[in-house]
């Protein structure tokens, strides 16, 4: 790839960006640090430095107003790491619950610990991470261990198809 000689727009240091980046109007800065410094120095003065505070670490940050209006819980986070930590914390379970949870305990984890890591119907066990946990009575709120079984993806789909087919037969005309 061809490079060209250029001077950084921020620090005036000589560097060699790719020719194709210069042709696209890019390749103006020698580093991300210089790009960031330039953006801070030349930011839109009408735009605030921050308009939100992280619900976990209380760090102020800027987020587009359209994205601030989206969270149903009203909680916003400065990074994905803060959101993940908050989801794992027991005191912040009122937003986007982690998959397979009922309250603070994972029914998937409880079922996989209680039963053998294999499909209850066909015995599949090659890749345990793809196994599903099925609610026998179809009520996801009922996560008692007696109401859970381990199924492979195929058997799980068939189980739900059987339930739909049997309910369809009950309501169909004779």
At 119-174, the pLDDT tens digits run 999 999 998 889 999 999 888 888 889 999 999 999 999 988 887 766 555 555 44
pLDDT of residue 98: 47
Q: Are residues 58 and 71 in the same domain?
A: yes
pLDDT in tens, 32-56: 889 888 887 777 666 677 788 888 8
Same domain flag for 122 and 92:
no
Mean pLDDT of the residues in the chain: 81
Asked if residue 132 lies in contact with residue 151, where contact means CB atoms within 8 angstroms, the answer is yes
pTM recorded for the entire structure: 0.40
DSSP notation for 81-138? HHHHHHHHSGGG-SSSPPTTEETTEEHHHHHHHHS-SS-TTT---S-GGG-EEEETTS
In this structure, the answer to whether residues 52 and 67 fall within a common structural domain is yes
Classify 171 as helix, strand or coil. helix
In a domain, 152, yes or no: yes
Whether 150 and 104 map to the same domain: the answer is: yes
Structure tokens at 79: 């990074």
165 with 112, same domain: the answer is yes
């Amino acid at each position: 790839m061809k490079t060209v000689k250029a001077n950084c727009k921020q620090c005036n240091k000589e560097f060699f960006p790719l020719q194709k980046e210069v042709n696209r109007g890019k390749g103006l800065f020698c580093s991300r640090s210089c790009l960031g410094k330039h953006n801070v120095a030349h930011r839109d003065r009408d735009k605030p430095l921050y308009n939100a505070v992280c619900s976990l670490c209380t760090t102020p940050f800027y987020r587009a107003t359209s994205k601030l209006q989206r969270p149903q819980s009203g909680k916003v986070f400065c990074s994905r790491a803060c959101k993940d930590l908050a989801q794992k914390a027991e005191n912040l379970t009122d937003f986007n619950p982690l998959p397979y949870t009922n309250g603070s305990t994972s029914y998937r984890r409880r079922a996989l610990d209680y039963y053998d890591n294999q499909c209850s119907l066909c015995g599949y066990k090659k890749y345990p991470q793809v196994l599903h946990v099925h609610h026998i009575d179809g009520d996801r709120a009922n996560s008692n261990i007696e109401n859970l079984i381990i199924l492979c993806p195929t058997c799980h789909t068939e189980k739900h198809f059987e339930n739909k087919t049997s309910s369809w037969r009950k309501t169909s005309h004779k």
